Structure 1
Amino acid sequence: MTKTALIVWGGWDGHTPEQSARIVADMLERHDFSVDIEPTTEAFADEKLGAYDLIVPAITMSRIEKEELTNLLAAIRAGTGLAGFHGLMCDSFRNEPDYQFMTGGQWVAHPGNIIDYDVKITSDDPIVAGIGDFPYRSEQYYMHFDPSVDVLATTTFSGEYFDEIEGVVMPVVWKRRFGKGRVFYSSLGHVADEFAVPQMRTIFERGALWASR
């Protein structure tokens, strides 16, 4: 049976939400998903939302109506998967702690903005198996995160741009359960062009497939 996915994009244009959404759609279609793409959070209010096998938000610094969020939370708790990246999932709705509780974290800073940093693989989970540590150039995300998440990769802050955080080890990739649903997140992917980085693309692709019902 063909799996189904919903990608909802919107918010700040600097994160190239529409372009990233279409890259993810193509990725999923190559795995025989039937994909719907919507440009508004109104899609989360659909009474049939829970029929999707996977939901991918690609939304930054936006707002969501109460009934939309309630329906989204219920769908994931009932078994629909959730997968996302960078601020397009973990900086979607800053005023919604229930959403942040589901995703497992919220962006709070990226000292130095676009910089070179290292990603360290810290698990033998199939999502990151065989990839190994790698250098990356993007925003290095400093996050508030749920200690219950299963961390698959980390980064260490140098203190060059904010000396108080020197040596802080921060999750980059994690997965978790939310009710019956699976949730996957990677902080890599500031703009659509980063999907050209093999490690970033592979990690997200594997994570999305894992999260799907």
Structure 2
Amino acid sequence: MSKTALIFWGGWEGHTPARSANIVKEMLAGHGFDITLEQGTSVLTGSDISQFDLIVPMVTMSTIEKPELENLVAAVRGGTGLAGFHGTMGDSFRNETEYQFMVGGQWVSHPGNIIDYRIDIAKPDDPIVAGIGGFAYRSEQYYMHVDPSNEVLATTTFSGEHFETIAGVVMPVVWKRRYGKGRVFYSALGHTADEFDVPQMKTIFERGALWASR
């Protein structure tokens, strides 16, 4: 019996949600997943989403109805996996603290916008990042408010060039965590669908999503 995944997308178009959602759909389909792909959040009340093995939100700077959020939170607490990246999971619903608690963080700034920076692997023995090693990256360098209970797999260090008072701050970029019985994976990489062309970014997300799945 194949695994099942729900991908729902929407919000700010600058994060190319439709393109990114289709890339992730093809990625998961390649691992035998049966995919449900929907625009908007209404799908979260339209069926028993707790039956999905994995849910991938692909929504930025949007809103969610209370029953939709309650269903999503209950599904993950009950064992459905949650995986996502960049602002499409880390800046989805700014007013919803329960969602942010589940994700393990919330985007707050990206000083300098698109810049060159470095990703450092914090747990090289973890299967999600094993064999990848540190690498240079060009994108938004996310400054986030993060949960101290996250298991951090990769970090970045702010130089202070674009905001002097955060010089030397080591910020989590990739993490995994538990939320009830569910596994949660997050990567801050992936500003647009084009970043899936970066092998390290794609591999980290792919492995993380498979780890998160029930």
Above 0.5 in TM-score? yes
CA RMSD of aligned residues (A): 0.5
Identity among equivalent pairs (%):
71
2:171 corresponding residue in structure 1 = 170
SS in 1 for 2:21: helix
Pairing of 1:47-126 with structure 2 (within 5 A): 47-123=47-123, 124-126=125-127
Q: Deviations over 1:1-38 (max 9, x none)?
A: 10000000000000000000000000000000000100
Provide runs of 4+ in structure 1 moved above 3 Å: none
Gaps of at least 5 residues in structure 2 are none
Pairing of 1:24-39 with structure 2 (within 5 A): 24-39=24-39
Q: Distance in 1 between matches of 2:47 and 2:32?
A: 24
Shift of 1:47: 4.0
Shift of 1:44: 1.0
TM-score, scaled relative to structure 1: 0.99
SS in 2 for 1:37: strand
1:193 corresponding residue in structure 2 = 194
Q: Deviations over 1:140-191 (max 9, x none)?
A: 0000000000000000000000000000000000000000000000000000
1:154 corresponding residue in structure 2 = 155
SS in 2 for 1:41: coil
TM-score, scaled relative to structure 2: 0.99
SS in 1 for 2:42: helix
Deviates more, 1:46-55 or 1:144-153: 46-55
Amino acid at match of 2:204: I
1:133 corresponding residue in structure 2 = 134
Q: Distance in 2 between matches of 1:57 and 1:163?
A: 33
Q: Deviations over 1:123-148 (max 9, x none)?
A: 02100000000000000000000000
1:182 corresponding residue in structure 2 = 183
Deviates more, 1:39-48 or 1:104-113: 39-48
Gaps of at least 5 residues in structure 1 are none
Amino acid at match of 2:163: F
